[in-house]
Amino acid sequence: MLNPAQLLRVDVGLLVVFSTVLEERHVARAAEKLNLTPSAVSHGLSRLRRLLHDPLFFKTSTGVKPTERAIALAGPIADLLSRVEGIMSAAGPFDARTARRSFKIGAPDAVAAVFLAPLISRLARDAPGIDIRLLQLMPQHQGKATSQVWQDTLAELDSHRLDLAILPIGALPSRYAERLLFEEDFVVAMRKGHPLARALSLTSYVKAQHLLVSAIGDPLGIVDIRLAEQGHSRRVALTVPNFMMALAQLAESDLIATLPRHLVEQHATRFHLVARPMPFRWTADSVRIVTSQAAMADAGIAWLFEVMTNCISPHSVTRLTAKRRTSL
């Protein structure tokens, strides 16, 4: 580990030079982008080569080619510069109309399909310089209690590697800022004209061929646990890794799937699907927007928290899906 005296030798500006040259693959173009002279960029690269003990770039007939070490450093340096940008942005006042900044938002893909369109529409209108980095979140079951499956995500919020998360989660400790967005339950989705669209009973449900969304191909999900509690089981004929693929497969087969209601309502018309109520009792999950209380001191994160709350409030979700409910 470097001591403070050694760290003083590391100029963040050198990392910006490195990142720009890597992006442009050309010293002169990088210099123009940075508003520097080519000699200043070359001098910066020379300093960085000495610090990192690697040539970093080789000259070619068309520009420069990165070394293997430079390629390996690209991700960590980009991440570091992003964090520096976030720190500097948080230090001053935040004006959404003029701000140029990116935020990392985590959500399961079924939840992201509900909020992404209204969020992007709002940003395009009110904050054109804001970029969103969306990360797909997966619950970490592995024998954990239901209340513990999102602990890894909460740790990401605590460490500020994630700015905001949208999660189906219950009550949280006071160190988190959270707000209820909507209640999510499930419906049984299938193509229009499916034989079960006319009448769906528990008996016909368990006899049908099911599609299950599973990132790892596991044919057992929470529905199977609930069915087993009642002495039933079903056949999962197909697993797919994401919900949008699931909707496409339902449209072209006789498979049925138990999916989040808001996801189906938003995309039913596009995929020519219908939905029917669950044939057994199901308790709705609370979907919340979550961040750390410490992160709320950042005016930009606090602003985005409010924007997303307004975009995905129960009233806005109702408005978003009301037009589609006639097909359900």
For residue 325, the one-letter residue type is R
Averaged pLDDT score across all residues of the chain: 87
User: Do residue 48 and residue 105 come from a single domain?
Assistant: no
Range of the domain at 21: 4-91
- Per the structure, the count of domains in the chain is 3
- pTM of the entire structure? 0.66
Q: Residue 17 is part of a domain; what is its CATH number?
A: 1.10.10.10
194 and 271 part of one domain: yes
75 lies in the same domain as 35: yes
Predicted pLDDT at 171: 85
Q: What's the pLDDT tens digit per position in 45-102?
A: 999 999 889 999 999 999 999 999 999 999 888 888 877 776 666 556 789 999 988 9
What radius of gyration do the chain's Cα atoms show?
Answer: 25
| DSSP characters over 129-157 | TEEEEEEE-----TT--GGGTTHHHHHHH
Q: Is the pLDDT of residue 205 over 50?
A: yes
**Residue 250 included in any domain:** yes
Residues 46 and 175 in one domain: no
Residues 277-297: what's their mean pLDDT?
91
Residue 260 lies in a domain: yes
Helix, strand, coil shares, percent, the chain, to 5: 50, 20, 30
- CB-CB contact of 183 with 261 (8 Å): no
Mark whether 194 and 180 lie in a shared domain.
no
Both 75 and 193 in one domain: the answer is: no
pLDDT cut 70: percent of the chain above it? 88
Partners of 188 in the β-ladder:
258, 276
Q: Is residue 56 in a domain? A: yes
Report the candidate in 10, 182, 23 with the shortest Cα–Cα distance to residue 111. 182
At 24-51, the pLDDT tens digits run 999 999 999 999 999 999 999 999 999 8
What CATH number is associated with residue 163? Answer: 3.40.190.10
Report in angstroms the alpha-carbon separations of 133 from 20, 120, 121, 128, 229. Answer: 20, 12, 15, 15, 39
Angle between helices 38-52 and 27-34 (to 10 degrees): 110
CA distances to 204, 212, 324 from 228, rounded to whole Å, are 16, 16, 33
C-beta separation of 243 from 213 below 8 A: yes
Amino acid in the structure at residue 211: L
Residue 182 has pLDDT above 70, yes or no: yes
- Average pLDDT value for residue range 142-163: 78
pLDDT of residue 256: 98
pLDDT of residue 294: 87
**Confidence (pLDDT) at 323:** 46
**In the predicted structure, residue 238 carries a pLDDT above the cut 70:** yes
Q: Is residue 96 part of a domain?
A: no
Residue 273: inside a domain, yes or no?
Answer: yes
